[in-house]
Structure 1
């Protein structure tokens, strides 16, 4: 993991400036000698907007009912976590979680969710990159400097693209006045500290 780059990008993410974070990550990737990871430059996940919106809507409907019958707890926030995608290259997916309390910026409270999706949402569109990760692991390519560097930038860029997808999905949801868009959503991947808060 490129912790220096993650810290730098995280500053932009915290300021809700995903576009700058994506530009910086792509620029860092383009400085590295060409690898299979370079296909990620210019790619996004925005084709999943309507599918993600439906996924969040269904989860909101199910948890809203649960919170209605729980007099002591009210829905306050959502959390999205992508699976540990670099080592689980066979399938990339997201789960959603709901909370009645929002904790501190150390984000340890995200482990204390009340409800989660029964069925996850598969991320489609980055299958070629999944094959690249598989190739790196199966053929032990970490010793090749440019592959190691590109790998470390790409994992951060993939998370930024997921966060961008959520940002755009929330924008459209607000325009069409979907009730779940009034609740904050925290977005990241498993074991990463670059967490984007929408709302």
Structure 2
């Protein structure tokens, strides 16, 4: 991974500058002689907004039911009349650079979270029973497959483009979540959602002002 670029992108994400982060990553990729990884330039995943909205809504319903049962039937009757909901969601994309056959995401729900550190991410109480397939970048998946199966990491331009493209994939997933949240006023949209990919620290808070 291009750690110098990743650090710059992380700083932009922490200040809610996702569009600037995408522009920076695309600029870095354009500075590299053209490869098949350049196919990602100017493309997004926004065709998935409607399906993702339903996926999140269904999970919010099922995971809230689990939380209600967890805190007990009596409390649900005599306690607060407000619906019990998770206080945060976390989205993790699979390890997509090496699992190129299918790209997908899973959601996790939490009873507590912090903006000061990420230690709480391992302490989820529920997760989606079925994952959500990412479509639209299948040709990019083929490029990752070729890179690994044909061991082309000794080709400098390909290696550099790979390291930028992987970050762009994550940024486009984060953009998908931002636009999904921006397009709904459902109650679940107020629950904080944190988005990244497996083994990456590039975490974006999709709906926190």
TM-score, normalised to structure 2, is 0.91
Q: CA deviation at 1:105?
A: 3.4
Does residue 11 of the first structure (1) align with residue 11 of the second (2)? yes
Q: CA deviation at 1:64?
A: 1.1
Larger radius of gyration: 2
Structure 1 counterpart of 2:150, from 130, 139, 157: 139
Find the aligned partners of 1:105 and 1:35 in 2 and give their Cα distance.
39
Structure 2 counterpart of 1:155, from 147, 166, 185: 166
Structure 2 counterpart of 1:192, from 192, 195, 200: 200
Aligned to 1:27: 27
What are the superposed Cα offsets for residues 120-158 of structure 1, whole Å, 9 maximum, x if unpaired? 000000000000000001111100000000000000011
Check the 8 A contact 2:60/2:85 in 1, yes or no. Answer: no
How many residues get paired? 196
Find the aligned partners of 1:64 and 1:187 in 2 and give their Cα distance.
20
Aligned to 2:176: 165
Q: CA deviation at 1:69?
A: 2.4
Q: What are structure 1's unaligned runs of at least 5 residues?
A: none
Match of 1:16, SS state, is coil
TM-score, normalised to structure 1, is 0.96
Runs (4+) off by over 4 Å = none
Q: CA deviation at 1:74?
A: 5.2
Aligned to 2:66: 66
Q: CA deviation at 1:68?
A: 1.9
Match of 1:69, SS state, is helix
Check the 8 A contact 2:12/2:20 in 1, yes or no. Answer: yes
Find the aligned partners of 1:68 and 1:138 in 2 and give their Cα distance.
47
